[in-house]
């Protein structure tokens, strides 16, 4: 089992970010920081297949070298996706071959050469044609 202090703190920071972001349409963004990792998250909208959806974006991840390849990222992203109240979790700019293969192994949908998303089990995708985000 991984040490929980850093992971718990990261998850707590994410929970606070989600709570603050619920009322905002878009524009919420924040660095989540612990000794082991830094994760840049935002609330956004993306095309998810053929429909627009609200997403929890993971825009950047930095794992300290001594903590790499020890499951910190996997543990974080599983918890983050589970607690995500929106339509999908979206990872953009995946430049690491390790993370690219991780996305494929875990069923993430490829958007383009470097971005992926994972739908929630019961998405509530935006269906209104004239829905304005701004």
Contact of 89 with 81, CB cutoff 8 Å: yes
Could you give the CA distance from residue 40 to residue 29 in angstroms, rounded to a whole number? 7
**Does 114 fall in a domain?**
yes
**Does 129 fall in a domain?**
no
Q: State which residues form the domain around 67.
A: 4-119
What pLDDT does 40 receive? 97
Contact of 48 with 123, CB cutoff 8 Å: yes
Contact of 55 with 109, CB cutoff 8 Å: no
pLDDT band at 127 (very low <50, low <70, confident <90, very high): very low
Whether residue 131 is predicted with pLDDT greater than 60 in this model: the reply is: no
Q: From residue 16, how far is each of 12, 20, 46, 105, 130 by CA, in Å?
A: 6, 6, 22, 30, 30
**Does 84 fall in a domain?**
yes
Torsions phi, psi for 78 (to 5 deg): -65, -45
Beta pairing class for 51-63 and 88-91? parallel
What pLDDT does 2 receive? 43
pTM of the entire predicted model = 0.83
pLDDT band at 95 (very low <50, low <70, confident <90, very high): confident
Whether residue 5 is predicted with pLDDT greater than 80 in this model: the reply is: no
Could you give the CA distance from residue 62 to residue 65 in angstroms, rounded to a whole number? 9
Element (H, E) at 20: helix 4-21
**Does 131 fall in a domain?**
no
Task: Please state the domain count of the chain.
Answer: 1
Whether residue 73 is predicted with pLDDT greater than 70 in this model: the reply is: yes
CATH label of the domain that carries residue 54: 3.40.630.30
Higher pLDDT, 32 or 96: 32
**Does 24 fall in a domain?**
yes
């Amino acid at each position: 089992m991984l040490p929980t202090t850093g992971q718990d703190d990261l998850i707590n920071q994410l929970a606070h970010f989600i709570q603050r972001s619920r009322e905002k349409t878009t524009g919420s963004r924040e660095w989540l920081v612990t000794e082991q990792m830094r994760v840049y998250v935002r609330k956004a909208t993306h095309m998810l297949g053929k429909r627009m959806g609200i997403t929890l974006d993971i825009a950047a991840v930095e794992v300290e070298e001594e903590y790499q390849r020890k499951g910190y990222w996997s543990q974080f992203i599983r918890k983050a996706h589970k607690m995500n109240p929106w339509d999908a979790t979206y990872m953009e700019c995946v430049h690491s071959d390790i993370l690219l293969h991780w996305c494929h192994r875990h069923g993430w949908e490829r958007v383009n050469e470097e971005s992926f998303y994972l739908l929630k089990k019961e998405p509530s995708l935006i269906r209104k044609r004239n829905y304005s985000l701004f």
